[in-house]
């Protein structure tokens, strides 16, 4: 059953602000707002049906992020800054929200988490020194999850560590990189 909504027009000043927050152009704004509307409808539908009735504000925000991952972020775990922008929270609160939903909705997000972490591994590149690899990680959860996976494979593997003097670049030792590629069935780069 297809449902249509009548949405009042948005003021010009709000349109520019929404484009800025959602990181989109005029042409992309309608699509982004439709995704927000889908997530909003899902939240209220679940509440009305008694499937997700919350008494704590934190639970509502966590569920909101969960359904935003499904609808707005197209089934991908967003980086922390995007959560800060959309939910008007600090970076620390953003990290906390991610950790909470990864635990609370771990079974619902199993494929999403696996695919998102696999994409991170696929983005690894070789460093100029020729021995190590590097990865840019915008979400602390991914680094922690990659290190957790490495620990489950072999506790003697080197962990992924931040590259000195960078904000979000991490070093991956060759042995760890090869094990991650094997774990995710990815062809390693030479």
Query: What pLDDT score was predicted for residue 97?
Result: 94
pTM for this one? Answer: 0.80
For 98-124, the pLDDT digits (tens) are 999 999 999 999 999 999 999 999 999
- The pLDDT of residue 179 is 94
- Is 90 exceeded by the pLDDT of residue 173? yes
pLDDT value of position 138? 87
Q: pLDDT tens, 41-52?
A: 999 999 999 998
Share of the chain above pLDDT 70, in %: 100
Average pLDDT, integer, range 30-39: 91
Give one DSSP letter per residue of the chain, joined into a string: -------PPPPHHHHHHHHHHHT--HHHHHHHHHHHHHHHHHHHHHHHTTSS--SSHHHHHHHHHHHHHHHTSTTSPPPHHHHHHHHT--HHHHHHHHHHHHHHTTTTTHHHHHHHHHHHHHT-EE-TTSS-EEEE-S-HHHHHHHHHHHHHH-TTSPPPEEPTT-SSEEEE-HHHHHHHHHHTT-PPP-
pLDDT at 145 (0 to 100) = 92
pLDDT, averaged across the chain: 91
DSSP structure class, residue 5 = -
The model's confidence at residue 3, banded by pLDDT at 50, 70 and 90, is confident
User: What are the residue ranges spanned by the domains of the chain?
Assistant: 12-108, 114-183
């Amino acid at each position: 059953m297809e449902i249509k909504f009548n949405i009042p027009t948005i003021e010009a000043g709000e349109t520019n602000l929404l484009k800025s927050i959602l990181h989109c152009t005029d042409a992309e704004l309608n699509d982004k707002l439709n995704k927000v509307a889908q997530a909003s409808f899902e939240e209220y539908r679940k509440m009305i049906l008694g499937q997700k009735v919350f008494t704590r504000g934190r639970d509502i925000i966590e569920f909101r992020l969960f359904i935003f991952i499904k609808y707005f972020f197209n089934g991908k775990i967003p980086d922390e800054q995007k959560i800060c922008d959309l939910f008007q929270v600090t970076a620390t609160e953003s990290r906390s929200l991610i950790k909470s939903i990864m635990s609370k909705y771990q079974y619902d997000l199993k494929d999403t988490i696996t695919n998102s972490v696999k994409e991170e591994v696929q983005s690894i590149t070789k460093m100029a020194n020729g021995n190590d690899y590097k990865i840019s990680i915008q979400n602390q959860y991914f680094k922690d999850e990659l290190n957790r996976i490495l620990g489950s494979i072999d506790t003697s593997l080197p962990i992924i560590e931040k590259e000195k003097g960078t904000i979000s670049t991490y070093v991956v030792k060759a042995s760890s990189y090869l094990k991650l590629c094997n774990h995710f069935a990815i062809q390693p780069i030479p």
